[in-house]
Amino acid sequence: MRPCIGVMSCSCDFRGEPGVYLPSRYVSGISEQLDADIVLIPPIPTAARAGSVLAKLDGIILTGSPSNIEPARYGASAGAGPFDPSRDHVALDLILEAKARRLPVLGICRGLQEINVALGGTLQDGLGAEDRMLRHHAPAGTDGPGQFSWSHSLDVAPDGLLHRELGTGMVEINSIHYQGVATLGDGLRIEALAPDGVVEAVAAVDHPIFAVQWHPEMSVESRVSKAVFSIFGRMLG
């Protein structure tokens, strides 16, 4: 049977009323690469209780988002929005419950940050600032396709999950994030770094959890994207 994967969605405004949002690229790309059935997880705490949701799924994917995680979630007093507190609530609960159940988790962009925060890590802001030598987000005013074509190189750490797929050396990834890891969460190891030392991929030491800071769903046929989905596919069994 095809695995059933829950995919985290975001809060949005839909014609003046609260809505739920997920770009279709996640659904089509994930379903194609993993030969899986997809169920959307709404960012509504009363409609997505972690225990009962995960009992029905074979794994979860935490997607990217235009929003950032609220700073209070990782002990900071201030941070750059926009925020999605309902998604924070649902996603962090899902991560901890999935870890307890040893259910596979794949994090993409914001998903990596959620995993890091759920496991006790902290975040930094401003990774797209103009004065950085390496900007992790395209300049303000860049259109959608242009944002996802913004890229930089990636240094794969030795002896990790990503290394087993890609080998040694530098590879190129898209980059579209303002937040990133400051201190690493408990039980996580670094799988890849940007040239400026920003964490670009992590994995849990003792659990089937893997996350990347870039967007593999934007170019599912690329070697790097196939490596990401292959890692998660093996976690699903």
Our answer to whether residue 217 is catalytic in this structure is yes
Which 3 state secondary structure label does DSSP give 161?
Answer: helix
| 231 class by beta-carbon count within 10 Å (0-12 exposed, 13-18 middle, 19+ buried) | buried
Catalytic residue among 97, 114, 200, 217: 217
**For residues 220 and 25, what is the distance between their CA atoms, to the nearest angstrom?**
10
User: Considering 10, 97, 109, 137, which one is annotated as catalytic?
Assistant: 109
Taking the CA atoms of the chain, what radius of gyration do you get in angstroms?
16
Task: For residue 10, indicate whether it is catalytic.
Answer: no
Known active-site residue 4: no
Residue 169 burial by CB count (10 A; 0-12/13-18/19+): exposed, middle or buried? exposed
Catalytic residue chosen out of the listed positions 136, 137, 177, 215: 215
Which residues on adjacent β-strands are paired with residue 174?
A: 151
Q: Which residues are catalytic?
A: 109, 215, 217
